[in-house]
Amino acid sequence: MTRADTLLLALLVLNVLLGAICLAVARRDRDSRALRLWGWGQIVYAAGLLITLSAFVPDALRRIVGNALIAYAPILTVEGALHYTTVRLNRRWVTAAWVVAVTPLVFAHLGPHAAVIADIVTPAIVAIALFGIAAVVLLRQPPPDARLAGRFVGGIFLYDVLVWSLRMAFVWRSIGGADPRERDLTIAMFGIAQMVAAIASTLGLLWIEVRNMEAELRRMADTDVLTGLPNRRATVARFGAEIARAARRGRSFGLLLVDIDHFKQINDSRGHQAGDRALQGLATVLRDASRGVDVVGRVGGEEFVVVLSEEPLEGALAAAERLRARVAASTVGYDHSALTLTVSGGLAMYPADGGSWDELFAAADRRLYESKAGGRNRITGPAKP
């Protein structure tokens, strides 16, 4: 066995191990289509290497099937990597292009004179084209939650393009009269370069998975499961950012606290599922009726907070009244019927009512109960100066 064959065999084993790791992680810890595709791409590449190195397979079949599988592996790996972005490969068109690329390989080895050059060009052209596409996409549009990791994988794809291009150029040059030792060295160096790329890119994908999982856990920790709004923890954190911005700019803002009128009656008469649907409906109305800069969160039970960013008292009162009217005019569908909701609310202003969450929340809560005592379906705010 030559030095090149030994290194290619090592590359084969490495790809099997990396593929198995990705498939195991995708199956047990995360339902990751990206890792599944990447893992199968590694396995298919290893299968192609195994066939090309197999002495018991007829030469023509060995070269056709082996190199066809090597050429198909980048389709799976690139599709897996792009799954972290908004770009998707059109499998039908890519497969058709693969068939076109493999066809000369078939004719080259089934004809009277086998053309070894087809073994080099066919997988190289497919790999260079697909890795180039993946590199551009990942460098320009990396995953939002894993930008550095995405760009790292994009850089490895650029490295792959370089390796495949150099391999094609050097092996092509070594055909026909070149020193066999030089050709053996070229293939061996290609095997080493491919090992580096396989390890680095697989680690890069796992890096993306870790970053995405961390971001998902953060979102879960900050999100109310029922309504999808920020929970109390996240709302208080965003309130803190609003306090800091208002202090820097010397501006005021409003903290509106609302809850559903007669919510206990909905639960008692229609059931808790109806109550959940009412909470979801209110969350949708508040979110849709608020400005993009405002913060809408659920802080407990039927209580919701709206941080009215950079609003003076008159503007905050008008915005709060608009939200109340929008809720009263809306209906929430449940069990082939409609739930009609109203809310009562209390409005507190920064800095007039305080400079912290506790102070503003207490003021808004006090005015909320004034709205309840005054007949419900109303907003109570500070007295106008």
The percentage of residues in the chain with a pLDDT greater than 70, rounded to a whole number, is 94
Q: How far is CA 335 from CA 154, 185, 240, 273, in A?
A: 50, 73, 40, 10
| DSSP character at residue 342 | -
Considering only the C-alpha atoms of the chain, give the largest distance between any 2 of them, rounded to a whole number of Å.
99
CB atoms inside a 10 Å sphere around CB 95 = 13
What are the tens digits of pLDDT across the range 49-87?
999 888 787 888 888 899 999 999 999 999 999 999 999
Query: pLDDT value at position 178?
Result: 54
Instruction: Give the model's confidence band at 121: pLDDT under 50 very low, under 70 low, under 90 confident, else very high.
Output: confident
Tens of pLDDT, residues 13-30:
999 999 999 999 887 656
What is the model's pLDDT at position 91? 86
Q: Tokens in use for 262? A: 């007669």
Give the pLDDT confidence of 134-155 residue by residue, as tens digits: 999 999 999 999 999 999 999 9
Q: Tokens for 290, please give them.
A: 């608020």
User: What are the angstrom distances between the C-alpha of 49 and each of 63, 78, 99, 159?
Assistant: 10, 19, 19, 20
> Which pLDDT does position 168 carry in this prediction?
78
CA distance 379 to 233: 25
Domains of the chain with CATH codes: 3-219 (1.20.1070), 232-380 (3.30.70.270)
Q: Please provide residue 183's backbone torsions phi and psi, each rounded to the nearest 5 degrees.
A: -65, -40
Who contacts 378 (Cβ-Cβ below 8 Å, separation ≥6)?
Answer: 324, 344, 345, 371
Which tokens go with 301? Answer: 């039970």
Return the structure tokens found at 204: 């890069």
Taking the alpha carbons of 276, 278, 281, 286 in that order, is the dihedral positive or negative? negative
Helix, strand, coil tally for the chain in percent (to 5): 70, 10, 20
Nearest by Cα to 361 from 350, 371, 372, 370: 350
Q: Which one has a higher pLDDT value, 252 or 8?
A: 252
Per-residue confidence (pLDDT) for residue 187, from 0 to 100: 75
138 contacts 151 by C-beta, under 8 angstroms: yes
Instruction: Return the DSSP state at 121.
Output: H
pLDDT digits (tens, 9 = 90+) for 166-203: 887 776 666 555 566 766 777 788 889 999 999 999 99
Residue with token string 């969450």: 357
Q: Do residues 255 and 361 touch, judged by C-beta distance below 8 A?
A: yes
Query: CA-CA distances (angstroms) from residue 42 to 20, 45, 47, 113, 291?
Result: 8, 5, 9, 32, 48
Q: Examine the pLDDT at 354 and tell me if it is beyond 90.
A: yes
Distance of alpha carbon 313 from alpha carbon 118, whole angstroms: 76
Residue 383: the pLDDT is 81
- pLDDT at residue number 182: 66
